[in-house]
Structure 1
Amino acid sequence: MKYAIHTLNKAFDHRVRLGVMAVLLANESVSFNDLKESLDLTDGNLASHVAALEKAGYVLVNKQFIGKKPNTTYNATAEGKTAFQEHLAALEKLLRG
């Protein structure tokens, strides 16, 4: 049997990635600006962490234009939702001892 600490997902080690996934699981879709504001991040900080989650297959990035303004929204993928829920379960197990 694995120790709970070994079942934590390294993709969610950083507080920003943990926050991004928490917001995405609570909402179907979130805009770049709303996500940036809710987590109090800079553009570059959010972009780099979302890119890591996208590379892992946990976040889907949707870019489009509304009029002449770019609009980026994010969704958690099914794989991302499962991985994050497993990560939270491992954290709970760790807390219970």
Structure 2
Amino acid sequence: MPEALDPVIHAPARLRLVATLAALPAGDELSFPKLRKLLEMTAGNLSTHLRKLEDAGYVAVTKTHEGRTPATYVALTPRGRRAFDDYTEALDALLKGAGS
């Protein structure tokens, strides 16, 4: 039987978020506004989902300044990348009927 799908990633908005970050090379990050625009999410909704992923150790949120302007960047952590790989493997196994 395949492993259970990770409930932290499985929520549709978080799945889209993690998949977007997983498409980047390891160590790369996206700015909060760019991520918000790509996912067509409100700032509040994105923040809520990022907090859940950050609490799980799946994303790293870096707050900095560019000149006098605050800037926030988001990256998938190695743990988050592993969790996404495990999630996609479990989903693939489920779709192929493994363990039936």
Answer whether TM exceeds 0.5 for this pair.
yes
Give the helix-richer structure, 1 or 2: 1
> Could you tell me which residue of structure 2 aligns to residue 56 of structure 1?
56
Paired-residue identity, %: 37
RMSD between superposed Cα atoms in Å: 0.9
1:11 maps to 8
Deviation per CA, 1:7-36: give whole Å up to 9, x if none.
Answer: 210111211110111111112211101110
What does 1:38-77 align with in structure 2 at a 5 Å threshold?
38-77=38-77
Q: How many residues align?
A: 94
TM-aligned CA deviation for residue 89 of structure 1: 0.5
- TM-score, reference length from structure 2: 0.89
Gaps of 5+ in 1: none
* Cα distance between partner residues in 2 of 1:91 and 1:35: 25
Letter matched to residue 21 of structure 1:
V
The aligned counterpart of 2:83 is: 83
Unpaired runs of 5+ in structure 2? none
Write the letter of the residue equivalent to 2:51: A
Q: Which amino acid aligns with 2:43?
A: D
- Aligned equivalents of 1:30, 1:23: Cα separation in 2: 10
TM-score, structure 1 normalization = 0.92
